[in-house]
A and B are shown apart, each in its own frame.
Chain A
Amino acid sequence: MSIWKLVKLKFGRNVAHFGELGIGMEETSERVLSDTLFSAWVSSYSKLFGKDATTNFLEKFNSQPEPLFRLSSTFIFHSTGENTTYYLPCPLKFPPNYPVGNDLNFIKAYKSLKYLPLDIWQRWYQGNGFSDGEELEAKIKGEAKGVLNQKGTFKYNEAFKINKVPKIAVDRVTRATNIYSTGFVQYQWEGSQKESDEFESLSGLYFLVRFAEPDLENIFFAVLDFMGGEGIGGERSSGAGHFETQQTELTDIWKQVLDFKDTNHHCLISLFWQHPLPKEILDDASYELQQRGGWLASPVSDGRQLRRKSVQMFTEGSVFSIAPQGQLADVTPDKIGKFLDHKVYRSGISLSLTIKAQEE
Chain B
Amino acid sequence: MSASREQKPLLGKLRLTSIILVETGLHIGGGGENLNIGGLDKPVIRDPITRHPYLPGSSIKGKLRSILERLLNKPLNRTGGSGTYRYESDDLEDGYTEIDGQDIPYQGARHCQLSRIFGSTGGPGSGAKTWIKTYIVKAQCLEENSTKPINGESYTSTKGRNAPARLIVRDSHLLPDSAKKLKKIDTGLYMTEWKFENGLDRITAAANPRQLERVPAGSEFRFELVYTVEDASQAIEDLKNLAIAVAILEDDALGGHGSRGYGKVKFHNFQFSYHDVEQYRQITNTGGSSLSPISLGDTSELLSRFSEIQGLLPGS
Contacts and interface: CB of A to CB of B under 8 A. Distances in A.
A171 interface: yes
Interface string A213-232: 00000100110011001010
A82 interface: no
Given A299-B8, A338-B143, A48 B85 contact: no
A167 B10 contact: no
A226 B85 contact: no
Interface in A144-193: 161, 163-174, 176-178, 180-181, 184, 186, 188-189, 191
Given A177-B82, A236-B168, A305-B161, A340 B76 contact: no
Contact of A172 (B4, B56, B70, B162): B70
B192 to A, nearest CB: 17
Given A170-B66, A178-B81, A305 B162 contact: yes
A237 B176 contact: no
Contacts of B282: 222
Given A172-B70, A238-B56, A299-B8, A13 B171 contact: yes
Contacts of B56: 165, 167, 238-239
Interface stretch (B45-53, B147-155, B199-207, B240-248): B45-53
A172 B86 contact: yes
A332 to B, nearest CB: 14
Interface in B145-183: 159-165, 167-171, 173, 175-177
A221 B284 contact: yes
B84 A50 contact: no
13 contacts: A13-B171, A164-B31, A169-B81, A196-B176, A222-B283, A237-B61, A237-B164, A301-B5, A304-B161, A305-B121, A305-B122, A340-B1, A340-B5
Interface in B36-84: 45, 47-49, 56-58, 61-62, 66, 69-70, 76, 80-84
Contacts of B86: 169-172
A303 B82 contact: no
Measured as residues with beta carbon below 8 angstroms from the partner, the interface class of chain B is 35 or more
B5 A171 contact: no
A300 interface: yes
Contacts of A46: 7
Nearest to A217: B284
A48 B122 contact: no
A186 B76 contact: no
B83 A48 contact: no
Given A172-B86, A176-B82, A48 B162 contact: no
Contacts of B281: 48-49, 222
Interface residues of A, number: 60
A131 B11 CA distance: 58
Contact of B159 (A242, A302, A305): A305
A327 B147 CA distance: 44
A310 B237 CA distance: 41
Contact of A161 (B13, B48, B58, B66): B48
Given A178-B84, A302-B5, A338 B141 contact: yes
B48 A302 contact: no
Q: Which 7 A-B pairs have the closest CB atoms?
A: A239-B57, A169-B80, A303-B162, A238-B58, A178-B82, A303-B161, A166-B31
B162 A235 contact: no
B284 A222 contact: yes
A177 B76 CA distance: 15
